[in-house]
Amino acid sequence: MRRAGDVSRRWEAGTSAEYKRMTPTTNVAGSLQTRTSCVTRGSHSPPRASTVDASTTASTNTTPPSVSPILTHFAGVPIPQLAAEFGTPLYVYDAAMIRQRARDLAPFDVTRFAQKACSNLSILRLMRDEGVLVDAVSAGEIARALAAGYAPSEKDHDDAAIAAGHHPAIVYTADVFDRAAIDTVIEHDLPVNCGSPDMIDQYGERCQALGRRHGVTLRINPGFGHGHSQKTNTGGEGSKHGVWHTEVADCVARAERWGLRVTGVHMHIGSGTDMSHLHKVGEALERIALEVGSSVLTISAGGGLSTPYRGDEPPIDVAGYYNTWNAVRERLASAFGHAVNLEIEPGRYLVAESGALLTEVRAVKKQGTLNYVLVDAGFNNLARPAMYGAYHPVSMCPAGSGQDKEGGSSATTADCPPPTADFVIAGPLCESGDVFTQKDGGIVEARPLPQPTIGDYLVIGGAGAYGYTMASNYNSKPLCAEVLIENGQPRLIRRAQTVDDLLAAEL
């Protein structure tokens, strides 16, 4: 069930004086519990309190994030405890943060999670629990959606049901069908969002042979785009994505040749897009939908909503964004004389802030004038900095802080020194680009950190989107484990690969 709402977060200082002052913060570093002054010895850390107020209508983003140089807990759990129990590197996710982000988008008729951002089955089940539907870009993602409980339905191809508000649970959306994908789509009779004219022909041919006269939606490239990096810009002629905006009439005719009809228009112009570009998409989509005509039952705003990785970006005005799209939908509904469904298809917005990559410090050294801290995670775990020069907030957790032998908090002020110097943060891979603090083009940067020592932890925040899903086995490194924390309880949601797993597939 969709619930509009907001999560108000606070970390309660508990009943004792152990917590002198805590900064309540919803944090892009991944729901990280921060302290601006340090904890004195002795108490169990209080579980973080997250309350969901289902009565408030979702409007804007919540508290602007802030990044503390020192973090001791993640979602209420001591970081050293997580590291001891599950090992490092380790992806951790805060379920409450994901739920909050899903509820932010409740005004849209459908939030369709672009699972490529974070496709662990437990995350998909959580999305489903929040009433979020899903897209898939491959046979593997279809299999994940099915395994998480999303089910295709006959109504997915029934225009009357769709006009009355039925929303397909899974939509295949891509620019191509590889052979496995089209076989899987046909097997499960899934709705398709076509990003190239050839997809229409390939799908149409298979449908015609089976006597299926389905609707298809078109992903249109409006001729412009924007992303946080040129590599995530999915519009304009420099992008391979979507049906070119002048080809719409041809695509409608192609669909009709196969007995199909165009029932929806979709635009996704990039990932990490700025709001001024996103607002322009509505106008472009409206034009195209009018060109297609009254067979259009659904419009999709795509994804692209950005995430405040640096902590100083203004919160996204979700309500304003919804209003822009709702106005487009209403104008189209009045032009067509029937209701039009409004979908949004975010990946990053739903999960980026919920996740962090925990990693252990394994070496600290100087290279000329630069200080380096080398950790046990690399771009095999989190590729975004190496791939896009993407910025992730990084904080330090002193070894042993946040818990004592009995599991209580044992951090002292000595455990939480202020930043002492700037450090380049790099991984263990045999590759110069294996640096978490780099700009686009591979320019290495240094970040202020307290002096790290071997065994301390670094917490790389904002890692919930395009983190684990872009991980690799480079240097024969097994994929690491993932843990989901809900109500203060960490749960392993994917075991780490072993080297034997790696070798098992090789002949």
Binding-site residue numbers are 304, 345-348, 384, 388, 431, 466
Q: Which CB, 95 or 117, lies closer to ligand PLP?
A: 117
Structure tokens at 383: 């590729």
Query: For residue 10, what are the β-bridge partners?
Result: 49
Binding positions for ligand PLP, 106-145, rule CB under 6 A: 114, 117
Give me 504's structure tokens.
């098992």
Structure token pair of residue 168: 């397909």
Nearer to ligand PLP, 173 or 381 (CB): 173
Indicate the residue type of 458.
L
Q: Contact with ligand PLP (CB under 6 A): which of 347, 393, 452, 461?
A: 347
Query: Could you tell me the sign of the dihedral formed by the alpha carbons of 116, 121, 122, 127, in that order?
Result: positive
**173 part of the interface to ligand PLP, by CB under 6 A:** yes
CB of 475 to ligand PLP, least distance (A): 27
Window contacting ligand PLP (CB under 6 A); options: 80-88, 207-215, 264-272, 400-408: 264-272
* 480 vs 225: CA distance, rounded Å: 34
Q: Tell me the C-alpha to C-alpha distance, in Å, between residue 115 and each of 126, 181, 349, 463.
A: 12, 16, 12, 14
Q: Any contact of residue 346 with ligand PLP (CB under 6 A)?
A: yes
Q: How far is the CB of 419 from ligand PLP (least distance, A)?
A: 31
CB of 351 to ligand PLP, least distance (A): 8
Backbone dihedral angles phi then psi of residue 353, each to the nearest 5 degrees: -70, -20
Q: Which is nearer to ligand PLP, 106 or 416 (CB)?
A: 106
Burial grade of 504 (CB within 10 A; 0-12, 13-18, 19 or more): exposed
CB of 264 or CB of 302, closer to ligand PLP? 302
Angle at 106 between CA 102 and CA 111, to 5 degrees: 65
Check whether the bond before 89 is cis (ω within 30° of 0): yes
H or E, element range at 92? strand 90-94
Nearest to 267 by CA among 280, 254, 252: 280
Site string (7-46) toward ligand PLP, x via CB under 6 A: ----------------------------------------
**325 versus 349: smaller Cβ distance to ligand PLP:** 349
**Which residues lie below 8 Å from residue 398, measured CB to CB, with a gap of 6+?**
70, 72, 411, 415, 416, 450, 456, 457
Does 305 interact with ligand PLP (rule: CB under 6 A)?
yes
- For residue 191, whether the previous peptide bond is cis, meaning omega lies within 30 degrees of 0, is no
If one asks whether residue 302 binds ligand PLP (CB under 6 A), the answer comes out as yes
- Where does this chain touch ligand PLP (CB under 6 A) — which range of 34-42, 255-263, 265-273, 395-403? 265-273
- CA pair distance 336, 441, nearest whole angstrom: 48
In this complex, which beta carbon is closest to ligand PLP, that of residue 336 or of residue 349?
Answer: 349
Phi/psi at 156 (5° precision): -60, -20
In angstroms, give the least distance from the CB of 69 to ligand PLP: 28
- Shortest Å, Cβ 228 to ligand PLP: 8
Nearest to 25 by CA among 90, 89, 73: 73
Q: Which residues are annotated as a binding site for pyridoxal 5'-phosphate?
A: 304, 345-348, 466
> Is 462 a binder of ligand PLP (CB under 6 A)?
no
Point out which span in 200-208, 341-349, 380-388, 399-407 binds ligand PLP (CB under 6 A): 341-349
Q: How far is the CB of 352 from ligand PLP (least distance, A)?
A: 8
Residues tagged active-site: 430
Beta carbon nearer to ligand PLP, 324 or 371: 324
CB of 34 to ligand PLP, least distance (A): 26
Interacting span for ligand PLP (CB under 6 A) from 83-91, 143-151, 249-257, 267-275: 267-275
Task: Give me the residue label for tokens 């307290």.
Answer: 450
Please identify which residue in the block is written with the tokens 């801290």.
373
HSE-up (13 A, CA, CB side) for residue 109: 22
Is 349 among the residues that bind ligand PLP (CB under 6 A)? yes
Binding residues for ligand PLP (CB under 6 A): 114, 117, 173, 234, 268, 271-272, 302-305, 345-349, 465
